[in-house]
Each structure stands twice: as structure tokens, then as C-alpha cells.
Amino acid sequence: MKIIIVGCGKVGVTLIKQLSAEKHDITVIDLRSDAIMEATNSYDCMGIVGNGASYSVQKEANIDNTDLLIAVTGNDELNLLCCLIAKKAGNTATIARVRNPVYSQEINYIKEELGLSMVINPEFASAQEIARILRFPSADKIDTFAHGRVEILNFVITEMSPLKGMTLIDVSKKYKCEVLICAVERGDDAFIPNGPFILRENDRVSFVAAPRYAREFFEKIGVDTHQVKNTMIVGGGMIAYYLAKQLRGQGINVKIIDSDRKRCEELSELLPRATIINGDATNKDVLMEEGIESCDSFIALTGIDEANIFLSMYARNVSKAKKIITKINRISFDDMISSFQAGSIIAPKNITTDYILQQVRLMQNSIGSNVETLYKLVDGKVEALEFSIKEQSPVVGIPLMELKLKRNLLIACINRGGVIITPNGQSTIQLGDTVIVVTTQKGLDDIKDILN
């Protein structure tokens, strides 16, 4: 696809990296010549220095022959204007990043009236992900498929875990749950495991299951499945606002600590059912006074990565929290963060990129089926894709054991009219199904791409 990206910040660069790796034709627009130079030197893309909302600049970027424009500058109104001009100038599909809470109640209206393919709010999406994790505190990450009927959950095998030293065959025989372990991260390596694969301490395991079976599996292996009752949030930004609204709706008590008095006053008006504390959370006395030792969960959401990491490490040492969540912004931390005791990691730019990549896959023409949902697992080493089977293809009606699948690829789940099937060798894919595939292979666009 021919794609224009307006905005060369953290999200823009992440998109350029991912989309160029998938062989899309990328043109990036930004007012900063140094940002354009760095992007074009690092990735396979064209660069234009200019205002992405300018008609002449978009014409220079060949908007007439562009499939998609993605506007991810730091200004919501500029992003919307870029999309409006692209729609008028080239009848191009458009995606806008819109972060201001003022627009959050109007997103559907804006999307419809401006003809946008997608509107993404990174902070709201991050808050949704955190809320899902707090529902299952023992999971590090939860991704949803089939409109919430299926989840991929991620957790770490501890020293005391009964799974340590077991093969996947043993796990299936002993626990008899409708779950399928689909990916394992071990150090720097990612595995799509088979039956004889042996689980080890510190393995980061991803498994596919319907929510009720996920809970049953966690209970059988002795993992806590109770939703948290309260949370302490450090940092009163937009993620904290969206998250507090969601958590209060779920009956979870929320306490937010922020050092900006004016922001605390705003949050007190916006969130009357939450407790807002004006204080410096880097002062351990403040944290102790506000009850960090007894909180159920702790979430570090300040704008400084280093502060978030150290706050989470401190919370792990002094509190009884079932779940600790840390927000990071810089990609450079991704490889280091696993060495810290910082709990679950939330990176808004990566969440944003995943949603946009999912939309890009949806837009690509494919004959047999389409990608409905896409998530990156294991630090991007593994992809989980949900295909919708709409037309006849080479995989339909054939037992899975007879399909010649690509290496490092697993058919993890079949959704047949709302009935979730954990597949075995005799299972078949039928028209109308949605199928979840987990693989280290990149760039699968169609269900037929799973075949050798």
C-alpha cells in the first residue's frame, strides 16, 4: 500500500519502522528537517519537509495515488485537518490520532462527518488495556479477539509454579482446560511451542482461551484470579483520568497522586468519586502516608520513564500489591525493562501502533479472508492474527493435521458463530469462522499465507 504518515514523533517513527518492514510504500511529512533526515536515513521511506495539512504538500506527496494517510502529530486539530484535506484532495482513507478528552464523547460524530477510517486515542486505549490487566492481576498483558469472546493472556512462570518443568502435553493431560499455550518468551528467544516443549522458570507464557476458561486455568495452577479492590495511581495525566473513570465504574477504589496542584483541582472536579492527592510521590513518606503498603495495585503513570520504573520497583519492595503497572514512552527501554522488577509494562505508542497496523491489515485486499485483529506479542517477535473466513480458500474443510503449515506457526483458536473451539489435528476451518493464528512469521495478509 502507498501510505503517507504525517508526524515524525515517537508514534510516527514506530509506524514507519513497522510499515516499511512490511514493504509498504511510505512517505513521511514533518516540519522538522532533522526528523525527516533521521527517518529517511534509518528506514526505507521518502521524506518531505512541510506542513502535512497543506494541500500543496500533500500533492507533492502524491496524495492522488495514496491508499492511506495517517496523521499522528502532537496536535489533534492539525491531525483532523490533515485527514480532511486528504479526503477531499485524493479521496484517501485516513486515520487520525486524537488525544484531547474534550473530543472523547464526540469521536463517532467526528469519524462519521469527516469520513475517517479510524480515530485512535492512545491514552484511552492504554487505560483500557490497564483496566483489562487489573481484572486478571496475575496476567501481565491481555489482548482480546472475536469481540471479547477470546483472550490471549501473558504471565510468567515463577519458581513455585506447578508448570515449571512440565511439557505442554503434561499440562494438557493434568489440567484438562480449554486453553492453548501459543507462545513462550525465554530470554531473547521466542518460541511457538509444540507438545514436547518443556516450560521453565522465568518463561513468559502466552495462552489463548475464552475468559471463563482462562480463569479456570489460573485457578487450577494456583494463581490468584480476583479483581483488585483498590489502586494507587501516580501521575494525573490523561491516562490516569480515563483509567479512573473505568475503574470507578467497575467498583474499584482509586487514589491519584500528582505534584501539580492545578491538575489535582481539575481531577477533583472531573472525578468526584476518586481520591485526589496533591503531593510528590517521589518522596517515600508521601507514599507511605497514602497507604502504598496496603494497596491492591500500583500504577506509575508520570511523564518520566525513569521515575515510573523506580516508583514501581519501590512499590514491589514495600507493598502487598497484586499488580504493578509501569508506563514507558521510550522504545530504547524495551530491551532493558525485563531486567527490572517493574511489573506489567504499558507503552502508549506501541498500543497506538498496534491498533493502526490492525487497521492497515484490514484495508489490504485479500481474496480468501481478511485480518480482523492483529496484536504483537513477545516484544514484537510474535504476531497473533485473527482471520475472517469469507470465501473459499485452500484451508477450508481440510483437517488441520493435513495442512502443510509454515514453520513456527500455530492455529490457536477457531470461533464458529460464537462457539470457541480449541483446535486439534482433526479440526477443520469452515466458511464463516474466524481463526486466530500465532506465528513468528511476519506480514501474513490472508489465511492462505499460513501454508507453505
Determine the structural domain holding residue 211 and report its residue range. Answer: 127-220
What is the percentage of the chain residues whose pLDDT exceeds 90? 64
Q: For the segment 5-54, what is each residue's pLDDT rounded down to a tens digit?
A: 999 998 999 999 989 988 899 999 999 999 999 999 999 999 999 999 99
Q: Could you tell me which residue, 414 or 138, shows the higher pLDDT?
A: 414
Give domain status of residue 271, yes or no.
yes
pLDDT at 334 over 60: no
Give domain status of residue 339, yes or no.
no
Instruction: Tell whether 26 and 111 lie within a shared domain.
Output: yes
Instruction: Tell whether 181 and 248 lie within a shared domain.
Output: no
In this prediction, residue 344 carries a pLDDT of 86
pLDDT at 257 over 60: yes
Give domain status of residue 75, yes or no.
yes
Instruction: Tell whether 171 and 75 lie within a shared domain.
Output: no
**Among 72-86, 175-189, 205-219, 339-353, which is the least confidently predicted range?**
339-353
pLDDT at 331 over 80: no
**Among 58-67, 172-181, 357-366, 426-435, which is the least confidently predicted range?**
357-366
pTM: 0.80
Mean pLDDT to the nearest integer, 350-366? 78
Give domain status of residue 100, yes or no.
yes
In this prediction, residue 369 carries a pLDDT of 44
pLDDT at 293 over 80: yes
Instruction: Tell whether 131 and 116 lie within a shared domain.
Output: no
pLDDT at 273 over 90: yes
**Among 53-57, 162-166, 369-373, 429-433, which is the least confidently predicted range?**
369-373
Instruction: Tell whether 101 and 141 lie within a shared domain.
Output: no
pLDDT at 365 over 60: no
pLDDT at 333 over 60: no
Domain boundary among 300, 321, 342: 321
pLDDT at 332 over 60: no
Domain boundary among 220, 240, 271: 220
What is the identity of the amino acid at 191? F
Give domain status of residue 367, yes or no.
yes
Instruction: Tell whether 395 and 374 lie within a shared domain.
Output: yes
Instruction: Tell whether 213 and 281 lie within a shared domain.
Output: no
Rounded CA-CA distance 216/223 in Å is 10
Number of domains in the chain: 4
- CB 285 within 8 Å of CB 257: no
Give domain status of residue 136, yes or no.
yes
pLDDT at 367 over 50: no
Instruction: Tell whether 114 and 142 lie within a shared domain.
Output: no
Q: Is the dihedral of CA 309, 383, 76, 6 positive or negative?
A: positive
pLDDT at 404 over 50: yes
Mean pLDDT to the nearest integer, 145-169? 90
CATH assignment at residue 38: 3.40.50.720
Instruction: Tell whether 107 and 166 lie within a shared domain.
Output: no
- Scored b (16 or more CB within 10 A) or e, 32-43 reads eeebbeebbeeb
CATH assignment at residue 390: 3.30.70.1450
Instruction: Tell whether 16 and 110 lie within a shared domain.
Output: yes
pLDDT at 138 over 90: no
Mean pLDDT to the nearest integer, 114-132? 91
Rounded CA-CA distance 36/330 in Å is 19
Give domain status of residue 181, yes or no.
yes
In this prediction, residue 324 carries a pLDDT of 93
pLDDT at 251 over 70: yes
pLDDT at 205 over 70: yes
Give domain status of residue 148, yes or no.
yes
Domain boundary among 76, 104, 120: 120
**Among 6-10, 29-33, 108-112, 374-378, which is the least confidently predicted range?**
374-378
What is the percentage of the chain residues whose pLDDT exceeds 70? 96
Rounded CA-CA distance 213/179 in Å is 7
Rounded CA-CA distance 117/361 in Å is 13
Mean pLDDT to the nearest integer, 94-108? 87
